Every structure is written in C-alpha cells, then in structure tokens.
Amino acid sequence: MRIQHPILPSRSTKTISFTFNHKMFQAREGDTIAIALWANGVKTLRNSEKNHEPRGMYCGIGQCYECRIYHPKIGLLKACTTRVQEGNHYFSKEPFNEMDLARKGDGNEG
C-alpha cells in the first residue's frame, strides 16, 4: 500500500531496496525509514525494553523517540525523520555482542 498525500505530489518514483531485521523491502527514494516500512505493512519498529510491548511511529516528527531503530555503522536512528538509504540494513535493536553484529551485517553504507 502506498501512502500518498492528497495534495502534495510524490517526491520520487525511483524504487530503492533496504533490509529491516534481515527482510528485504522496497521504498521510494526520499521516504523516511518509518514511512517506507509503513508502506510495506510494517508498523512495529521495536519492542519496549521493560514490558516488551510493540512500539512504532508515534509523533512522526522526531520528538518522542518511540521509532528508534539501529543501524550498525551509525547507531540509533529516529526512523520517522531519517531517510531510507539504498542497500542499508536496519534493525529493531542493537546487537548484544560482536558476533551478533557480524551475523547482522555491516550496514552496507555503500
């Protein structure tokens, strides 16, 4: 499902690929990570630390930090304000150790 503003035109029609938790997704160039995942049906970006409850995009403007995800080379990102990059790998949480990071990949900054 593609989310389209009722008045503003789309930013781009170029399709790019990225992964989230080892699963490949498509996005439009210029989409934020949260919008790209939302358009692909992914609404849960992480689980809360205390109760392990699902968390996703809440404020959409980078203030609440509910949408934080992990990129191996950058660290924690706000998915609602960070543009998705071609070939990058994003994860719901930070790796527990170096072996976990090696299994998850290096982020493929390109």
- Distance (Å, whole) CA 33 – CA 80: 6
**64 contacts: CB under 8 Å, gap ≥ 6:** 58
* Mean pLDDT of the residues in the chain: 83
Q: What pTM was estimated for this model as a whole?
A: 0.77
pLDDT digits (tens, 9 = 90+) for 32-71: 999 999 999 999 999 888 899 888 888 877 888 889 999 9
**34 contacts: CB under 8 Å, gap ≥ 6:** 45, 56, 57, 60, 67, 79, 80
Instruction: Assess contact for 82 and 32: CB atoms under 8 A.
Output: yes
Tokens 């070939």 belong to: 87
